[in-house]
Amino acid sequence: MQAAHFPSGFLTSLHQAPGFQQDTFTQTHVNGQSPTSIRINPFKAIPVPDVQPVPWCANGYYLNNRPSFTFDPLFHAGCYYVQEASSMFIDYILKHIRNDEDALKILDLCAAPGGKSTLISSVMQEDDLLVANEIIKTRVPILTDNLNRWGRANVVVTNNDPKTFSALKSFFDIIVVDAPCSGSGMFRKDPAAMEEWSEANVTLCQQRQERILADVYPALQEGGYFIYSTCSYSYEEDEAVLDWLCEEFDVETVRIPVPAEWGIVESQSARHQAWSYRFYPDQVKGEGLFAACLRKKESSGYLSNYKPKTQKPDYKEIDKLKSYVENPDQLHFFKLNEDWLVIPKVHKDSLNTLQQYLYIKKSGIRLGKMAGKDLIPDHELALSLLVNKNMFLQTELTYEQAIVYLRKENLNNLSAESKGWSLMMYVGQVLGWAKLLPNRMNNYYPKEIRILSTQSAKGGTLTDSAE
């Protein structure tokens, strides 16, 4: 790609962008390759490859080459997430502003496909709650799948317009808004994005970003934090939006200490000197990102104490369910149609509140259905950190067998000494369920997320990428 292929007016528009260096920026887009990076799930321990760490994220790593993640069973087990390195800076911000004494309610407003949500989940403590919202209905399934793989129970997935959250007055302690933008920060990784860029689109994105922030603002409590980010270099979508926030609302800027050797450009907005952080691909090992943190100084009022009527729990069934999960006494069991779900007890009231206002797609962990005395387990339970593995058979698969299983095909050569529900494992990590019968195996891997590719699976693991 040559510099002339940038959209008309793009480079000129960046002359006011803090830290922009046109010559090296252009050269990086001509010759540079986008680095591949992953973030390890700290709750599903796997050996960390001997590769370069991402300096601003404790669990982030750059890979030496890009494997076919589709053919790595550890990816499907939720042991890591493939995420652009610059985006992992949210981890650094969260750890800086976190007060470990208080439980937090965190909203990831524009959450799909789940990179920042799984990152937030990694940082959260047991008593914290994450609400991961996606505005576009068709993108909710991939968000849900990625959070299911991550395995934590203190997560709710919703599908709502930002305006809906205005009714949840002062509910959240932190709101992360990775706002829809003109996408110029992804030009190197996705050159096709250039076709969508225009100065008019930048203006439209700025207006949309301001509307989203205004809509969700009442849901942030006094003293709470906004983390605002885009993958755009445009000043209008970045520092100008911070100035708008400072003028429209009673917020204060939060400066995040950043080591100079990281190459991140520290910036301040023109009118209110709000601190922010810019990532340029010629100055950091990553793609374009803008991020900032603001603290709310005013109150938006409070929610009413209305408590909805709830059905009387079926304690007999709940007693049967308790053996299937770890630490059952810390969990709230509830039923949705025929399915049983659990969420930490500490979040029971919060879930009841959210159900009054939001369209919820996922609440905690779905355990499955009871059939007499036995549980027909759900895939969510298999991948969760709650599953009591001692209650089920465990079948360790070879790499080749794991790929066959993930394609939802039959493992005809599988020798099973026992029969019943089995957790299908690869190097000690759970992939999903199968039911072992005397002469066959029923594969219960969800067809919606099975491997569809018919390519060869050779060389598809995380270990291969580090060699």
Binding site for S-adenosyl-L-methionine: which residues? Answer: 110-116, 134, 161, 178
User: Do 253 and 272 touch, CB atoms closer than 8 A?
Assistant: yes
CA distance 182 to 13: 13
Q: Is 57 a catalytic residue?
A: no
Reference 59, options 40, 75, 35; nearest CA is 40
Q: What is the number of alpha carbons within 13 Å of residue 70 lying toward its C-beta?
A: 12
Q: How far is CA 156 from CA 90, 295, 350, 360, in A?
A: 20, 24, 10, 7
CA distance 234 to 452: 38
User: Which amino acid belongs to residue 293?
Assistant: C
Annotated binding site: 110-116, 134, 161, 178
Map tokens 């304690």 to a residue: 315
Among 181, 205, 231, 246, the active-site one is 231
Four-CA torsion 127, 37, 14, 94, nearest 10 degrees:
20
Q: Is 369 exposed, middle or buried (0-12, 13-18, 19+ CB in 10 A)?
A: middle
Reference 383, options 406, 407, 355; nearest CA is 406
User: Do 92 and 80 touch, CB atoms closer than 8 A?
Assistant: no
Does residue 113 have a cis bond before it (omega within 30 degrees)? yes
Q: How far is CA 15 from CA 5, 12, 83, 239, in A?
A: 18, 6, 29, 14
CA distance 151 to 380: 8
Pull the structure tokens for residue 440.
Answer: 């066959």
Q: Which residues on adjacent β-strands are paired with residue 295? A: 225, 252
Region for residue 175 given its phi and psi (left: phi exceeds 0; alpha: psi -120 to 50; beta: otherwise) = beta
Reference 290, options 336, 236, 244, 233; nearest CA is 233
CA distance 202 to 180: 11
Annotated catalytic residues are 231
